[in-house]
Amino acid sequence: MRLLLLAPPGAGKGTQGERLAAWSGARHIAAGDLLRAEAQGDGPLGREIAACQARGDLVPDQIVIDVLTPVVVEAAARGGYILDGFPRTLPQATAAADLAARLGVTLDAAVYLHAPEAVLTRRLLGRASRSGRSDDKTDVIRHRLEVFTQTTGLLVPYYTERGILVTVDADQPPDSVAADIKSRLRTGRRG
Ligand code: ADP
């Protein structure tokens, strides 16, 4: 199974990514987690990633591609992957498509999790005290949602044109979202 999860902050990409991985045997690859791990390093690369994440800005494409590529290559050779938060820009989507072509694999679906902005903000603020993340603060949350609308949202028409977009209502309890994703993947219904 090879999937990607396309979703604004707070839509539940991480939760659904873990469940889909457990269900399918594919590896859950969370771009934000890999970049946060990379940001722990005290060299210039780690500092640049940490600064982007703290501001709620996207990390530059080439850095993301360099961090993600080896992980994707390894997962492709095993049980596949559930990409969570990658790609997030059109250049990243092109790089991911080129990589898949080189590996001789294709994506089964791009799952778009959507929910109203008020719901996303409420969830992110709700988890802020527990997450300990530098970007779970009111103004940074607002900025992350804007970045999604302006940049990552462009991938919705991109994958629609490729015929693999599956749109799921994320404003439901996690079990219901997971059930909807699985039933849509089973019936092969796109849209
Ligand atoms: P969320 O979706 O809630 O913002 P993530 O952990 O997926 O949480 O991402 C957190 C941050 O990590 C982003 O705001 C961005 O700085 C960085 N990031 C994650 N994935 C990417 C990506 N594909 N391209 C650029 N930056 C990314």
H or E stretch covering 14: helix 13-24
Ligand 1 centroid to 122 CA: how many Å? 18
pLDDT in tens, 9-44: 999 999 999 999 999 999 999 999 999 999 998 899
Give the pLDDT score at 128. Answer: 87
Pick the atom of ligand 1 nearest to 92's CA. Answer: 23
Query: Which protein residue has the closest C-alpha to ligand 1 atom 23?
Result: 86
User: Is the Cα torsion angle 11, 61, 64, 142 positive or negative in sign?
Assistant: negative
Is pLDDT at 189 greater than 70 in this prediction? no
Q: Which residues on adjacent β-strands are paired with residue 114? A: 169
* Structure tokens belonging to residue 11: 């839509």
Is pLDDT at 79 greater than 70 in this prediction? yes
How many whole angstroms separate alpha carbon 160 and alpha carbon 108? 13
How many whole angstroms separate alpha carbon 143 and alpha carbon 120? 13
Q: Which whole number is the average pLDDT over 68-82?
A: 96
Collapse the DSSP code of 111 into the 3-class scheme (helix H, G, I; strand E, B; otherwise coil) and give the result. strand
The contacts of residue 185 (CB under 8 Å, 6+ apart) are: 3, 108, 109, 166
Q: Which whole number is the average pLDDT over 142-154?
A: 97
Pick the atom of ligand 1 nearest to 8's CA. Answer: 2
**Phi and psi dihedrals of 46, rounded to 5?**
-60, -40
Ligand 1 centroid to 53 CA: how many Å? 7
How many whole angstroms separate alpha carbon 189 and alpha carbon 191? 7
pLDDT in tens, 80-120: 999 999 999 999 999 999 999 999 999 999 999 999 999 99
